[in-house]
Amino acid sequence: MFGQSSFRRILLLRILLLSIPILFLGMAVTFRKARTSLLNTARVNLEQNAVLKAESIQDSIEALRTNLSIASESASLQYGSPVSSQVLLSQLKTELFGANSPECLQFRDLQTNRLIASTCGNKVLDPISTQGWAPQRDPSSSDRLKVHTLAINRINPVVQANMDSQLNLIISTPVYDPGGILRYSLTAQIVLRQADTVQPWLLQGYTVVIDPDGTFLAHPLANRVRQNIAQQVGEDRFQDILMNVERGEKGARHIYNFTNPNGAEWIAGFSPITIPVSATESQTWAVLSITRVDSALQGLKEITQILLILTAGLLAAHLLAMLYMARDLALPIEQLGKYALRIHKRDATERAPKNFRIRELNHLAEVLDSMVGRLEERAKELESAWQEAKAANQLKSQFLANTSHELRTPLNAIINCIRLVKDDCCDTREEEVEFLDHADKAAIHLLKIINDILDIQRIEEEKLPLAIETVDLRQILKEAVDLEVVPIQQKGLKLTVTDLLEPILVRADPSRLKQVFLNVIYNAMKFTDQGEITIDVRTETAVSPPIAEQNGHYGDGGVLRPWVIVAVKDTGIGIDLAQQHKLFRPFVMVDGTTTRKFEGTGLGLAISRNLVEMMGGRITLHSAGVGHGTTVKIVMPIFDPSHSESIDSQESSKTTLNQSAAEPSAIG
């Protein structure tokens, strides 16, 4: 027919049209992953190099400070002799400082501010604040070597051709005369040079040092030294680095336009370094190791070439495979297609064509035959499932209607009470407190509803956490009873609780077990208008795993274990026998209308059942009928440390177990 094509041609075109973009997409993803991996490696290397550079600078400064302080103890300096001081400074420059020889050493009289000796002529180095220097040496002090001051050299640097970073510093230390009086200062101009390299594969980077004010102290371009980061195009990136360094963090960042406004992208690893700039003050500098992104991605070109070769080879192999595949697939698929078109008209004994060269197509023909038969069965199952889904949807809708009613009632109470107080509609302070108390109770009720909804959701998703520990059931039950005793007394009901003399240890989550007791006792109080509520606690021995009792005989093959049964019995409205099986389902209530007499969302018993079963117990409910009260029993295994090992060994020796009896029965 016009506008149509053969199966083989369509198969080839469609597969190629789909496979080619996928191949190129895979190449792009691989390229991006390789680029990301190389960049991540560069960031890690630069970050580590920044740490090493920071340690090197700090070690050099500490060594220079120590050497300078040692030199200040020389007798030639303490007496202030110009001739001997000059000789000493010349010797110190080459002998004491070694490789970190200072550019200039100056010995100055602090009282007259006059140079006594200098190794760099009469040009006075920038003055350094003597704040924090003791005017008189403490003879008992053993920490004299730490009295020093450090400042940034403000001498205009010379433009360097090799782009090696250097850090110009001035370090000064006090010199006391033989009487212990502060009289002189010994100052050194230090240039810490960094042998930088940005050769591909090395990724050591140039060294950059920035002070807390954002001023470059060291830079591969000498004309940038003493400039502020505010004068740079990428100021925001430098500010981010300074904020991280101030918090003592290290890392790596991408920086743009590092050397010129239209420059390439750079990667900078940074690390903090703490430098004491006076006897009482320290600064945190940022030490950066920075290199171009091009150097970090040096190996990306080779990877790109390999990817292109692989992609071209895959395309060629793919095309050849499609040619053979189209020939072998065309005829069998056409026959199966004709059979599928006439399935609805086929004879009951007709079967799909077989005996193809391709085993999978033969199997497909068999599956097609069986599928037709199963479809008819599935149609019936789908009809049944649709009916169940419809019923479940109705239950959900009913639950949403009930929940919206339950949420609206306390919300209206909260809003109305707060507005009455807000609008000064109360005559006395006691009336305001009464309204606020009503609002508080309504808010607590609203919170309980929301918590129940969240709990049932987490239970259904199996994400509800339990903190299992060994607890005394008596204490948990007492706390729950103490919370409900006042509302029970206010309704005029009699409360009877079994006195327990011995501890009853169980393995449970205390807060969740208390929640179960509160739910059960609250339901008993809510549905009882007159009469009494009895809480009976007793212990019995039953099989473990628990198997239902029959005529007083425990199931065969079980291990006897002590159990505690907490029975909460009320004389309330009771429950119809036909409705009792639905009460432990979530979203289900005997009276589901929004105008029912008793409030609630129908989640309390469902949550309680799940919580008890998660803690290894069981909860049951029984009522003789409407008007005959209700009894709820909570059964929990008693924890006995002395028998836990023997019970475990007996349980592990059993090879078979009746799985249908995996919960404890309501004993008695």
**What DSSP letter does each residue of 56-116 carry, written as one string?**
HHHHHHHHHHHHHHHHTT-HHHHTT-HHHHHHHHHHHHHHTSGGG--SEEEEEETTTTEEE
Extended beta strands in 359-464, E state = none
pLDDT of residue 554: 39
Residue 563's Cβ-count burial label (10 Å; 0-12, 13-18, 19+) is buried
pTM of the model: 0.45
Please, what's the b/e burial string for 462-487 (b: 16 or more CB within 10 A of its CB; e: otherwise)? eebeeeeeebebbebbeebbeebeee
How far is the C-alpha of 78 from the C-alpha of 176, rounded, in Å? 6
pLDDT of residue 654: 39
487 Cβ contact partners less than 8 Å away, ≥ 6 residues apart: 525
Strand order in the sheet with 104-109: 114-118, 104-109, 182-194, 165-176, 149-152
Q: Which fold has domain 351-464?
A: Helix Hairpins (1.10.287)
For 110, other C-beta atoms within 10 Å of its C-beta total: 14
Q: What integer is the mean pLDDT of 328-346?
A: 72
Q: What integer is the mean pLDDT of 85-111?
A: 77
pLDDT of residue 620: 87
Q: What integer is the mean pLDDT of 323-350?
A: 71
Query: What pLDDT, in 10s, does the model give residues 581-630?
Result: 667 766 555 554 433 455 555 577 777 888 888 888 888 888 888 888 89
The per-residue pLDDT of the chain, averaged, comes to 76
How many angstroms separate the Cα of 275 from the Cα of each of 66, 70, 308, 517, 609? 14, 19, 52, 63, 65
Q: Which fold has domain 465-661?
A: Heat Shock Protein 90 (3.30.565)
Helices (H) and strands (E) in the chain, counts: 12, 17
113 Cβ contact partners less than 8 Å away, ≥ 6 residues apart: 127
Lowest mean pLDDT among 31-40, 319-328, 646-655: 646-655
How far is the C-alpha of 177 from the C-alpha of 156, rounded, in Å? 34
**Residue 542 scores a pLDDT above 80:** no
Q: How confident is the model at residue 657 (pLDDT cuts 50, 70, 90)?
A: very low
**Residue 653 scores a pLDDT above 50:** no
Q: How confident is the model at residue 552 (pLDDT cuts 50, 70, 90)?
A: very low
pLDDT of residue 459: 66
The residue type at 526: K
pLDDT of residue 568: 92
> Which of 640, 637, 622, 619 is closest to 564 using CA atoms?
637
Lowest mean pLDDT among 288-292, 413-417, 519-523: 413-417
Residue with tokens 């190129």: 24
> Which of 459, 460, 462 is closest to 515 using CA atoms?
459
How far is the C-alpha of 575 from the C-alpha of 573, rounded, in Å? 7
Q: Is the bond leading into 545 cis (omega within 30 degrees of zero)?
A: yes
**Residue 211 scores a pLDDT above 70:** yes
- Highest averaged pLDDT of the listed ranges 194-198, 209-213, 655-659: 209-213
pLDDT of residue 450: 74
Q: How confident is the model at residue 98 (pLDDT cuts 50, 70, 90)?
A: low
558 touches 545 (CB < 8 A): yes
- Joined together, the tokens standing for residue 286 give 């940022």
38 touches 300 (CB < 8 A): yes
Centroid of chain to Cα 60: 41
Domains of the chain, by residue range, sit at 33-131+144-295, 351-464, 465-661
Query: What pLDDT, in 10s, does the model give residues 295-309?
Result: 878 778 888 888 888
Any long-range contacts for 364-373 (C-beta under 8 Å, 24+ apart)? 364/336, 365/336, 365/339, 368/336, 368/339, 368/340, 372/343
**Residue 183 scores a pLDDT above 50:** yes
Please say whether the dihedral angle defined by the alpha carbons of residues 58, 61, 67 and 68, taken in this order, is positive or negative: negative
Percent of the chain with pLDDT over 70: 74
pLDDT of residue 271: 92
Q: Between residues 567 and 374, which one has the greater pLDDT?
A: 567
Q: How confident is the model at residue 244 (pLDDT cuts 50, 70, 90)?
A: very high
Q: How confident is the model at residue 342 (pLDDT cuts 50, 70, 90)?
A: confident
**Residue 555 scores a pLDDT above 50:** no
Alpha helices in 492-579 (DSSP H): 510-526
pLDDT of residue 548: 42
How far is the C-alpha of 113 from the C-alpha of 285, rounded, in Å? 31
Q: What integer is the mean pLDDT of 346-351?
A: 66
How far is the C-alpha of 152 from the C-alpha of 277, rounded, in Å? 9
**Residue 14 scores a pLDDT above 80:** no
pLDDT of residue 272: 93
Q: What integer is the mean pLDDT of 262-279?
A: 83
Can you give the C-alpha Rg of the chain in angstroms?
43
Q: What integer is the mean pLDDT of 167-174?
A: 83
> Which of 243, 251, 254, 252 is closest to 284 using CA atoms?
243
Q: What integer is the mean pLDDT of 499-511?
A: 87
Query: What pLDDT, in 10s, does the model give residues 431-489?
Result: 878 878 877 877 876 777 777 676 666 666 566 778 889 999 889 888 888 888 888 88
SS3 544: strand
- Joined together, the tokens standing for residue 164 give 């090696």
Query: What pLDDT, in 10s, does the model give residues 358-408?
Result: 677 777 777 777 877 777 678 788 888 888 788 777 767 766 766 666 677
CA atoms within 13 A on the CB side of 94: 5
- 109: β partners: 114, 184
Q: How confident is the model at residue 547 (pLDDT cuts 50, 70, 90)?
A: very low
Q: Report which secondary-structure segment, H or E, holds 543.
A: strand 532-544
Is domain 33-131+144-295 annotated with CATH 1.10.3330.10? no
